[in-house]
Structure 1
Amino acid sequence: MEGWKFWWGIAAFFLGGLSTQFSGWLTYRRQRMDKAVEDADALKKRREEFELQHLIETNEKLHVLRQRLWDFTLEARKVRASNQADGHQDQAGLTAARDAMDAAEGALHGNVGFILNDEIRLKVQEAIQAIGGATFEVLGGSPVPHFEMNKAVAEAFDALSARVRAIYANQPNH
């Protein structure tokens, strides 16, 4: 009987060590899984913050570009009116309006490449093209093609705002 107690003590010692090792392994696996989940959440949050920033900036810059088109249109009308009235063309205002429009378009182009969603990026590019086409119509003395341009711009605004809403809808309330 004494031999049995001896072997039971040794078995208990090894089982205790094995149990400790197994428990440590389980704790390590759980910590690694928790860390992986935390890392994935942090990456998702950074991506969403990046995307939100660029969507909102793009929205603002598209508004500016559209306003610069209207400013350019007004200046072109002034030049045409003064040309008809006295034959004198002062194009300084038109040049300044065109330069402001070019700057706004360049700023917007700088943001378009950072839009992660391909469909939204395409809608914004179509809006830029529609505004650019309207510029050529204005220079040619034609009226601005409001319907086509406004449709393209409105679709871009709708796509941008829908994506912003979708991102905010997925964020937990704090």
Structure 2
Amino acid sequence: MEGWKFWWGIAAFFLGGLATQLNGWLAYRRQRKDRADDAADALRQRREEFELQHLVEVNQLLRDLLAGLLHMAASSTLMDRLGAGDDRELSEDFKTAAASANAAEGALTASAGFILDDAIRAHVQAALRAADEASATVLTSDNPSEGLFEAAAVMTPAFESISARVRQLYAGRAGS
């Protein structure tokens, strides 16, 4: 029987070593999966932060553009009513409004390409085209507010889609 004790000792030694190796391998796989999950979560979080930052920025620029166009139309109407005539000298108020609208439009054009959602980007680009047309209408038409209603109607889906996506991003964060 003493021979069996020897062989059981050897077998226990090898089985213990095998169990230690198996446990180490399983721990390594678990840690590797945890690191991959953490990396994927960090990447998702960075993407959401990037998207959220740009959507809020685009929303504000779109509002600034609309406000600038409305201000331009109001200034133009006021100049017409005050009798500036056909060769109307652009007032400082109109120039300021036009500069504000142009700055917002330029920044919006630059930022629109960074919108990750294709549908939102299409809405914003449609709003930019409508704003261009409204800007031309304000400068050339006898009724400067004529094109603003169409521009506002095209901008509304852009505002709504941006707001919906921002809510969706924040709702996803609350669940994380």
Q: Same fold (TM over 0.5)?
A: yes
In the TM superposition, what is the alpha-carbon distance from 1:33 to its structure 2 partner?
0.7
CA offsets 1:76-103 (integer angstroms, 9 cap, x no match): 223434333xx66322433333222111
In structure 2, the partner of 1:25 is 25
Given candidates 164, 167, 175, the residue that maps to 1:165 is: 167
Question: Higher mean Cα deviation, 91-100 or 44-53?
Answer: 91-100
Partner secondary structure for residue 172 of structure 1 = helix
In the TM superposition, what is the alpha-carbon distance from 1:107 to its structure 2 partner?
1.4
In structure 2, the partner of 1:97 is 97
TM-score by length of 2: 0.89
The two structures, once aligned, show a CA RMSD in angstroms of 1.8
Question: Higher mean Cα deviation, 140-149 or 41-50?
Answer: 140-149
CA offsets 1:121-166 (integer angstroms, 9 cap, x no match): 1101111111110111122224323442121111100000000011
Distance 2:49 2:68 in 1: 29
Give identity over the alignment, percent: 47
In structure 1, the partner of 2:131 is 131
Indicate how the Cα distance of structure 1 residues 151 and 32 shifts in structure 2: closer, same or farther if over 3 A, else same.
same
In structure 2, the partner of 1:64 is 64
Matched-pair contact (CA < 8 Å) for 2:66–2:152 = no
Matched-pair contact (CA < 8 Å) for 2:138–2:147 = no
CA offsets 1:49-105 (integer angstroms, 9 cap, x no match): 111111111111110000000111122223434333xx6632243333322211111
Given candidates 153, 156, 171, the residue that maps to 1:151 is: 153
Matches within 5 A, 1:105-116: 105-116=105-116
Number of residues of Structure 1 aligned to a counterpart in Structure 2: 172
Distance 1:156 1:88 in 2: 36
